[in-house]
A and B are shown apart, each in its own frame.
Chain A
């Protein structure tokens, strides 16, 4: 497969403050690439350079084999972009905004417009000003996908969408991907990325710390486990492998666990339990362990 996006040693400073430093990664044609990192890590900065909304301090980025700075307007013909914060002209109706947006790509495909609006349950006749945050996000989704772009760039796209809409939105993205679109999906919510992506790039404090297959990630991710014992905390826990970051409080114990989940199940099956919760750890916690591993 060919590289659709090539990013080489990309650096951006806003005056003296850091945007991104020496970022390099490629996105392959046809894949859904997850771009994850905590807030302020540099995800949006990278994306904004790809769209030439901002200009890099150093390094280069190219899409479809064309340099983003030089050929930005040509590249953007085939990009659909959904920003994390959506803002549109308040006194326009949804349909007028979508038509205006479509006018930049030739004649609007009204059938596709209606199809997308129907899936996302978007009322085309309402004024932008009257829309809730989630509904504005839907406008963004339709506006981003309307011209069947070859590359879809999503920057924290799910904020404000309810679970049903998130699901439909993911379904739409999968459909577009199946039709051949490449997707760059930026998020700080790990399960979301795990659900959709084949590969991920992890960015923290402006630097890429890992680019990995999602299947490989899954085996190395931690679970956040909280056990509430009826009586005493089982002593066997202390000797179990793969336990990290242990916190005890009376008959409660919480820890990060990496390894075969069955070991934990077997252990608790011997004890009387009040409650068990197993959660995905948030990204910061995973990052901490990524760093610990490297130190």
Chain B
């Protein structure tokens, strides 16, 4: 428990910043929903000016933005992206942070197993992610509900909201694996942004090309708004891949970390 507590103390500030950022994204977009919904004609005119590839890439080609579900899927596209950056940052940091702030010698010379250290840290970041997702769900819901004038499909909303968490765990696993494979990790953010945006760009290309093979490659394609709306559920195939990636990458990272040399500072 002591490591969990310490880890939480070290990360709670970024939890607050990212959660505020994600909430703000949601609120700001929701403010504009009413005007969109009221003036469908203007909206359609506006959208027709965009080339279809552009619309596809930014996630409003196959959803109706004048409906709250369609609009939410568009909003959550960006909240997911925000959340993915946070998940990736946590994933990369978890096993490398102590080496970077040079406290690894202190912690790992204590009478604890490496696996205990890693699982405690994993527990701490799960507390962060769960807290964030609960806050997100509970605080965006009233705003979405108000914007929809009570016309909100709670199930679809919940599916959108939970997809944030599902994409985050993909990046936690990926981040951990990268962090144990990279020999010397100087700073987290450039690598985090590079990897997340690489996956996001694959998603943008995928949206334009609609190539099913590409869909497997990026978690941003796993929980597509239009699919969630039409099926009122996740595609089990992609849900399974998402969870499998997290589990396999995490186990692999732990195995490598268990025997990794902690270089002297």
Interface residues of A (CB under 8 A from B): 14, 44, 48, 51-55, 72-77, 79, 81, 83, 85, 87-90, 100-101, 103-105, 143
A-B contact pairs, 11 of them (CB 8 A): A52-B108, A53-B104, A55-B259, A76-B110, A76-B112, A77-B111, A81-B105, A87-B105, A89-B6, A100-B2, A100-B6
A105→B105 CA distance, assembly (Å):
16
User: Can you add 12 more A-B contacts, CB < 8 Å, to A87-B102, A88-B106, A100-B6?
Assistant: A14-B261, A53-B108, A53-B109, A54-B261, A54-B263, A73-B116, A81-B105, A88-B103, A100-B2, A103-B2, A104-B110, A105-B111
Q: A87-B105, A88-B106, A89-B10 given as contacts; is B261 within 8 A of A73 (CB)?
A: no
- Residues A87 and B106 in contact, CB atoms below 8 Å apart: yes
- Chain A residues with CB under 8 Å of B113's CB are 72-73
Which of chain B's residues has its CB closest to A84's CB?
B264
B182 on interface, CB distance cutoff 8 Å = no
A158→B259 CA distance, assembly (Å):
31
A183→B36 CA distance, assembly (Å):
75
Q: A83-B105, A88-B103, A100-B2 given as contacts; is B112 within 8 A of A53 (CB)?
A: no
Q: In terms of DSSP, what is the predominant structure of the interface of chain B?
A: loop
Distance (whole angstroms) from the CB of B9 to the closest CB of chain A: 8
Distance (whole angstroms) from the CB of B12 to the closest CB of chain A: 12
A74→B113 CA distance, assembly (Å):
9
Q: A89-B10, A103-B2 given as contacts; is B109 within 8 A of A51 (CB)?
A: yes
- Residues B2 and A90 in contact, CB atoms below 8 Å apart: no
A226→B262 CA distance, assembly (Å):
45
- Chain B residues with CB under 8 Å of A100's CB are 2, 6
- Residues B103 and A101 in contact, CB atoms below 8 Å apart: no
Which of chain A's residues has its CB closest to B5's CB?
A100
Which of chain B's residues has its CB closest to A77's CB?
B111
Distance (whole angstroms) from the CB of A282 to the closest CB of chain B: 23
Q: Which of A55, A74, A143 is the one whose CB lies under 8 Å from B111?
A: A74
- Residues B102 and A76 in contact, CB atoms below 8 Å apart: no
Which of chain A's residues has its CB closest to B259's CB?
A55
- Chain A residues with CB under 8 Å of B46's CB are none
- Residues B112 and A48 in contact, CB atoms below 8 Å apart: no
- Chain B residues with CB under 8 Å of A51's CB are 108-109
Which residues of chain B from 1 to 45 have a CB within 8 Å of any chain A CB? 2, 6, 10
- Residues B111 and A76 in contact, CB atoms below 8 Å apart: yes
A81→B111 CA distance, assembly (Å):
11
- Chain A residues with CB under 8 Å of B261's CB are 14, 53-55
- Chain B residues with CB under 8 Å of A14's CB are 261
A55→B264 CA distance, assembly (Å):
13
A72→B112 CA distance, assembly (Å):
8
B101 on interface, CB distance cutoff 8 Å = yes
A225→B106 CA distance, assembly (Å):
42
Which residues of chain B from 93 to 122 have a CB within 8 Å of any chain A CB? 101-106, 108-113, 116
Distance (whole angstroms) from the CB of A281 to the closest CB of chain B: 28
Distance (whole angstroms) from the CB of B155 to the closest CB of chain A: 43
- Chain B residues with CB under 8 Å of A74's CB are 111
- Chain A residues with CB under 8 Å of B231's CB are none
Which residues of chain B from 169 to 220 have a CB within 8 Å of any chain A CB? none
- Chain A residues with CB under 8 Å of B105's CB are 53, 81, 83, 87
Interface 0/1 of B122-162, CB less than 8 Å to A: 00000000000000000000000000000000000000000
- Chain B residues with CB under 8 Å of A75's CB are 111
